[in-house]
Amino acid sequence: MKKLICLFLFSILLSATCFADNISDLVNIKIKNKDADAVILYNGYDIRINEDGSRHSSSERVTRILTQSGREEHADYPIFIDKGKAEVHFIKGGTYKADGTFEPIEKAGINDVTPTFMANALMYGDFINRVYSFSSVEPNSTLYLHYTVDRKNEEGYDSGLILFETSDSTLRKKVTITEPANAKLLYETNTKVTKSGRTITIDEKDIPKLKSEGKRPPTETIGKYIIYTTAKDWYQATHFFKKNVIEATDYENEAIKNMANQITAKCKTKDEKIKSCLRFINQDIKYTPISLGMGSYKPRYATETLASKYGDGKDRVTLLKALLKALGIDSEIALIRNSNAPIHKNVPTIKQFDIVMLAVRKESGRWGLLDTVNLAGQTGYVKVDANSEALILLGDKCRLVKQEPYFDIPNSSYSCIIAELNNDGSADVEMDFLEQGSFDSSARLPLLVNLGQNLKKYINAVGEAFSPSTEIKSFECSKIDDYSIPVSMKIKMKCNKFALKQNEYFLLNLNPPPFKFSSIGFDTTVPEREYPYVLGNNRTAEYKYILQLPKNLEAIFVPESRTFSGKFGEFTVTSNYDKVENKIEYSAKTEIKTNQISPEDYKILKSNYEQFTNDENSILILKNK
């Protein structure tokens, strides 16, 4: 009820308030919302695009601080800028204290600070945070900031994506965009737009805060947004970037030629040469993972990256392109959107993409993607989404194609444990482990727990008890090279000191394949958002156990074969106890689809996985006869 009253009050006040006319109306709003740390009372953003593609924008922001946590979060307001392309002009800012007095931001409170994530950067020195520091910030104070930004655009057009939801509730957000006289503004949005002459306006009120959840879809698929551009087509939107890459691909340089020949000296096929070039970049060229948002699109020359031994994603792609070209292998630039958000095909802008790859023709004639850096820090393997597209830059054309990796590597995990339990209580164990797609070294052997007759201790013992007398007999691992995948391990070991007296029990926890969930958050201060949850890439994982029992042991509990299925995929338990051979075979398998599922299906997914991994389906109990 309190929330409804507050929202009703907000609506009445805002309907009678025009921020541009009188800020005092906002400053004097009484907010009694104990569940929020801060509320954005007004956020105004006016964009005017010039004929040369440059942009002048004016921003006004009014924030009410409600708690000490809100003070810590909002007392310093950073603006990420490229000093080489943007000029920021401070108009007015300060703190309206609870007693109504205004304390302005002093000159000493405006500083250029290197962002934390760039503190150890090897390049991009022009990127800084312009930080405005408010003073006298306490609960019930109101922060006001007005500044303008003039930004150059070498591309010759302007574009952007504006999201309306933030981590704080917003009472009102108003956006205006004015197109230049010589170009048409192309845009897509999922909210109401009013148009007057060459200007469009979006005026949203009572915007709830965005829930923080690890596996929710991209913000623009669940909240309100506008994406815009003044580029007339995809060629204009991307040609400057491709031109920069081609200019930096100095494959005729002797250093590039010599290195390409050196690292592929023993290669006979095209694929072997590509793998060797990828291996070289992974092992010898340090990756500098600096996120610049919609920042720089100009890579360094391939020879510079080769000489310095470091580079970001586009630098490494440019070097790879140069090495392949020196070997006579043609490739094209491919742009990828690293999310499940759709590509807005009618709004041509490179800012829809955040990853650059290379595309090489496969024998089938289709384009295969080569990635120099993926999320696991590996090389060559592309975690593609079969439902998403890549934008291939072809000459004076661009083509959207379904994402497909050049090297077809399944995304799967498989482990097989063969254990022979001996009469003296020891166990000879062999483990085969194969990981393809994303290397995960966290695979565990089953816990062999001697619990005596008190099986109730199982609840506290699983996950804590591990034999201190495990003796590793041998360990073999495949060579981890250019992909870090697939990885194959073979382990032989002997587990001692598990001798059982008559009528004592042996309990084995079989550890089904793991699957991580996002938290289902609940925020009482905002309306609930009902949106789909995003699952990971298509992935299959199977853990298999083959246990040969000695004559003195018998299985008194073996899981039943069961399947739990839904739109997300399947969880399957398969088990068999051959009493004649005294052998147990057990398999736990997960098959997860790349998909977005509804909140209802997501709850089913969690429930099914809990059943899949509970004691009834994941333990064996043996008894000494």
Q: What is the pLDDT of residues 208-246, one digit of tens each?
A: 887 666 556 677 777 899 999 999 999 999 998 899 899
The verdict on 483 and 619 lying in the same domain is: yes
The verdict on 340 and 448 lying in the same domain is: no
CATH number at residue 122: 2.60.40.3140
Is residue 500 included in any domain, yes or no? yes
CATH number at residue 256: 3.10.620.30
Q: What local confidence, expressed as pLDDT, does residue 450 receive?
A: 29
Using the predicted structure, report yes or no on whether residue 444 has a pLDDT greater than 60.
no
pLDDT band for position 34 (50/70/90)? low
Q: How many structural domains are present in the chain?
A: 3
C-alpha–C-alpha distance, residues 166 and 45, integer Å: 15
* 265-272, long-range: CB < 8 A, 24+ apart: 270/329, 271/407
Q: What are 136's strand-pairing partners?
A: none
The verdict on 89 and 177 lying in the same domain is: yes
Q: In what helix (H) or strand (E) does residue 203 lie, and over which residues does it extend?
A: strand 199-207
Is residue 407 included in any domain, yes or no? no
Using the predicted structure, report yes or no on whether residue 587 has a pLDDT greater than 60.
yes
Higher pLDDT, 433 or 451: 433
The verdict on 366 and 219 lying in the same domain is: no
Is residue 241 included in any domain, yes or no? yes
The verdict on 475 and 567 lying in the same domain is: yes
The verdict on 51 and 150 lying in the same domain is: yes
Higher pLDDT, 504 or 439: 504
pLDDT band for position 381 (50/70/90)? very low
Strands (DSSP E) found in 257-331: 286-287, 310-311
The verdict on 348 and 468 lying in the same domain is: no
Of 78-82, 210-214, 300-304, 619-623, the range with the lowest mean pLDDT is 210-214
How long, in residues, is the chain?
Answer: 625
Q: What local confidence, expressed as pLDDT, does residue 254 receive?
A: 96
The verdict on 392 and 427 lying in the same domain is: no
The verdict on 153 and 102 lying in the same domain is: yes
Q: What local confidence, expressed as pLDDT, does residue 452 receive?
A: 26
Domain boundary among 202, 230, 258: 230
Is residue 553 included in any domain, yes or no? yes
pTM score: 0.72
Is residue 268 included in any domain, yes or no? yes
Of 329-333, 417-421, 572-576, the range with the lowest mean pLDDT is 417-421
Domain boundary among 197, 230, 263: 230
**Tens-place pLDDT, residues 66-89:** 999 999 999 999 998 877 788 999
Higher pLDDT, 463 or 89: 89
The SS3 of residue 231 is coil
Q: Which residue has the tokens 């020195």?
A: 125
> Residue 360 is part of which domain span?
235-402
The verdict on 148 and 42 lying in the same domain is: yes
The verdict on 225 and 241 lying in the same domain is: no
Using the predicted structure, report yes or no on whether residue 376 has a pLDDT greater than 50.
no
Of 13-22, 139-148, 180-189, 414-423, the range with the lowest mean pLDDT is 13-22
Domain boundary among 402, 429, 463: 402
Q: What local confidence, expressed as pLDDT, does residue 574 receive?
A: 93
Q: Which residue has the tokens 């290197």?
A: 114
Outline where 347-471 has alpha helix (H). Answer: 458-461
Q: What local confidence, expressed as pLDDT, does residue 623 receive?
A: 80
- Strand-pair category, 583-592 with 539-548: antiparallel
Pair 297, 393: CB distance under 8 Å? no
Supply the Cα-derived Rg of the chain in whole angstroms: 30
**Tens-place pLDDT, residues 84-129:** 788 999 999 999 998 889 999 999 999 988 776 565 554 455 678 8
Using the predicted structure, report yes or no on whether residue 316 has a pLDDT greater than 80.
yes
The verdict on 219 and 263 lying in the same domain is: no
